[in-house]
Amino acid sequence: MLLLHENKTLNHHNMRKTILFVIMTLLSLTVGAQTTVPAETPELEFVMQLKVTLGETYSVGETSHGRRTVIPITGGTFEGPLLKGTILNGGADYQMADSKTNRTEIEAIYSIKTDDGVYIHIRNKGIISNSQDAQGRPSFYFRCSPRFEAPNDSKYAWLNNAIFVCAPAWGGPGGGITLNVWKVK
């Protein structure tokens, strides 16, 4: 009986040593692992600047998803190295705000018309965040990613096949907004 008790104690002791060894091995692998910075970093190529005029903002109010606000898009102009034209009346910027996180999701849906008569549809999704950075300092973030739908048979079809980023800025024409757009290369 004493021998059986000693074997159980020895097995229990060996099991604890094995578990401790496995944990220490896993920790050393995690601590020793380093992230390799990729050799190729994506580049940005300026595409256009949109100067958007806006209508009167209205709110649907608090919904089950947050506070819904709608900002009508009434017009404006755009210009870049490869295209130029007007922003059409009739679109809107649909915003959903979460007051608990100070975060707003935006989705602007509108169309533009190039100076040579081509219509292009845009769906621009983004985030406005008024929070704190990793060090706890106040931080404001406002970025979007527009997606373009241009006719496949037009010289603007290249807009369909790329990722774009947008840095909005307040103070467009008549209190509107200015959108600077880059293509991720």
Q: What is the pLDDT of residue 132?
A: 78
Are 80 and 49 within 8 A, CB to CB?
yes
Q: What is the pLDDT of residue 3?
A: 47
Q: What is the pLDDT of residue 2?
A: 46
Q: What is the pLDDT of residue 11?
A: 61
Q: In the chain, what are the domain boundaries?
A: 1-34, 44-184
Q: How far is CA 116 from CA 78, 84, 159, 165, in A?
A: 13, 9, 16, 25
Per-residue pLDDT of 49-81, as tens digits, reads 999 999 999 999 999 989 999 999 999 999 999
The enclosing H or E element of 142 equals strand 138-149
Question: Which structure tokens are listed for 101?
Answer: 């996180």
User: Could you give the CA distance from residue 113 to residue 78 in angstroms, rounded to a whole number?
Assistant: 9
Residue with tokens 């021998």: 3
36: which DSSP letter? P
The fold of 44-184 is Porin (2.40.160)
Q: What is the pTM of this model?
A: 0.77
60 conformational bin, left if phi > 0, alpha if psi -120 to 50, beta if neither? alpha
Among the listed residues 157, 162, 127, 158, the one whose alpha carbon sits nearest the alpha carbon of residue 147: 162
Query: What type of residue is 176?
Result: G
Ranges under pLDDT 70 in the chain: 1-33
